[in-house]
Structure 1
């Protein structure tokens, strides 16, 4: 990152939105003393209301997501930008470009494959030239996945147990709602790929976010919606596992981390994600019904008549659960791997709070704080469009553990 003097340490862009307010609140309560935070967005009135509600004396910066010159001023004023404004393919391109050009570190919540791919193509070399760390997906998409594999690999390496091979993340338990922003991003990407066969193929590729797809190993078909038998992953797992709705994005982030690290996890590293639906005799039926339900949601959002109906019942952008509901949420993700020496290892990422809101506010806020306060502990990097593991690594693991998340790895 540029050593130029900046007016702010962190700018929260989209600070008057539902998630933006949660992130700003988290920083107000947990940022180290002296951290210079500013709130940014398109409405000065709404930003001032947030500032008053939080009881902070932070500057307010006005910039519309389509006003490139205003976004450039925001980026040049700060060391780190947090943005919660999506769909990112629609509202995020100018801001990430401004940060890459200004040498300003950047974190967001995107789970959009095509936006992340375009950001890599447009900004990676520019960010390397300025030293900016552009870090997409610093919330529930995709920190548990990326850091879960990161600590798993570290433990295997520390024990001299070889490299990772078949690795599966299992959502062991989870309570929380799908956000309106996630639904809106899904709509936007479906509309985009419907019009372009080339983009459909890109979105479906298991290596769609890799720096060099031609250099990736040929590991056969990697299916993000397959039904899996628990015992085939680890002897202690029971029942049939269902597809996990976020697998099609998270898996690509983890594979990019492996490639950016010169395949340090292993050239035979195969990664997938699934969700436990219990160990009862009915688990195959429940898992199959879950798979059908996910497919039906995608088809329903792709067809105008059913989209009209779904739009009336699904969460709207900017909407979110009550504080009570956010606090009662939780998630536990267990990762299982077999190494090249035949050993079995597992890691766990676990947190209290609704995954997409309360837990995400912690993960996003701590990602930005790591970039500001933990420079010496960050992984070596010349900058670029990175991942949570390659940009933040152990510095973020340490921060999240201190914030109450469980992040562990051990031999089975």
Structure 2
């Protein structure tokens, strides 16, 4: 068996361990790696059930090793982390099942990627693991799926183009989900449900989750840019003169915006000290768009309230997708998303960026983004942004290496002056 050392110098049996490989998204990731990982990439499948992992391996027609590890078994999780150069995990909610694994990876100097969209989990991971991972050289990279790669990498590409044109710094920047077909996974809903349970009786955690800089490395050093409302209804022309109609709140804005702001801070506020970032969703340009935007806002609020109250949660739990469930292959393939970003620079120039991909955002496209993030950590070390390790973001840990990989995988990622 070929053995390779990681950044800490210890020898590792596997390049990538897919943890949760028998789950719905885990299977999609394993399938993608089986078809697209460069020859010689040593992948292992991991999870709680040896028999289910064996079924996945047989279905894929691969001879990858199987590792059995329950998230609550500290010794097994430590062994898993120590065996890999990169651990890729789809097992959420991460606040319930992911804390031990990410800490084990940070301690072992093992790179790590996941799909979390949980503010409080990410904050706790930063507090517990950032300095440790910086010491061991581990790149801990949360949110490597639809949350939050289009947001974080989209702003990264936008900033790179502005810098290349010597057009100043980013100021008011808005991401607009221009079109999207596909649903949110049962895992995303379960993560939302879990976080609501955690903050329900804890005012401090509610304030932390609501803070626009909840993931900042130094909240006191962040600029005071006034109120930043994730649930605002926007007028399209205020974002860009070419946009028409009203823009509704985007359901994941409260997480994605904090990831992007963390990237700016980790980079020494390279995007700009006056960088203001928000996200919204197009509901069309018809005269009814203000009504549709308000209906969307009310609906999102109702979902949060509904999941917070036992009687309505009982009903919603029977309607909403459950963890481990997902759409058919035909539905996944029919999905797509187009995300446009608009900014005005400190010199007054207007720039736009686009991130577009085929495939259901929460499943097919996410499997590609997560897999390519892991592959970048293995195969593109020389092209990664300089870092000594830590709890990073997709932009600060993977940068242009991931951009190039996603473009090669068929995703459109562009930026230009308007």
TM range (shorter): over 0.9
**1:68 partnered with 2:74:** yes
Distance 2:161 2:403 in 1: 14
**1:262 partnered with 2:257:** no
Partner of 2:387: 381
Partner of 2:282: 276
Q: What is the CA-CA distance between 1:3 and the residue it aligns to?
A: 2.7
CA RMSD of aligned residues (A): 0.4
| TM-score for both structures, normalised by structure 1 | 1.00
Matches within 5 A, 1:246-395: 246-395=252-401
* Correspondent of 2:18 among 12, 16, 31: 12
Partner of 2:132: 126
SS for the counterpart of 1:292 is helix
Residue deviations 1:320-356, cap 9 Å, x none? 0000000000000000000000000000000000000
Partner of 1:58: 64
**1:23 partnered with 2:29:** yes
| TM-score for both structures, normalised by structure 2 | 0.98
Q: What is the CA-CA distance between 1:5 and the residue it aligns to?
A: 1.8
**1:148 partnered with 2:175:** no
Matches within 5 A, 1:126-205: 126-205=132-211
Residue deviations 1:296-325, cap 9 Å, x none? 000000000000000011101100000000
Residue deviations 1:152-200, cap 9 Å, x none? 0000000010000000000000000111000100000000000210000
SS for the counterpart of 2:347 is coil
**1:403 partnered with 2:409:** yes
SS for the counterpart of 2:38 is coil
SS for the counterpart of 1:313 is coil
Q: What count of residue pairs does the alignment treat as equivalent?
A: 412
Q: Structure 1 unaligned runs (5+)?
A: none
Distance 1:129 1:303 in 2: 43
* Correspondent of 2:115 among 109, 121, 141: 109
Distance 1:68 1:97 in 2: 10
Residue deviations 1:203-228, cap 9 Å, x none? 00000000000000000000000000
Q: What is the CA-CA distance between 1:407 and the residue it aligns to?
A: 0.4
Partner of 1:40: 46
Q: Structure 2 unaligned runs (5+)?
A: 1-6
SS for the counterpart of 1:312 is coil
Residue deviations 1:3-27, cap 9 Å, x none? 3221000000000000000000000
SS for the counterpart of 2:274 is coil
Distance 1:73 1:83 in 2: 15
Residue deviations 1:383-412, cap 9 Å, x none? 000000000000000000000000000000
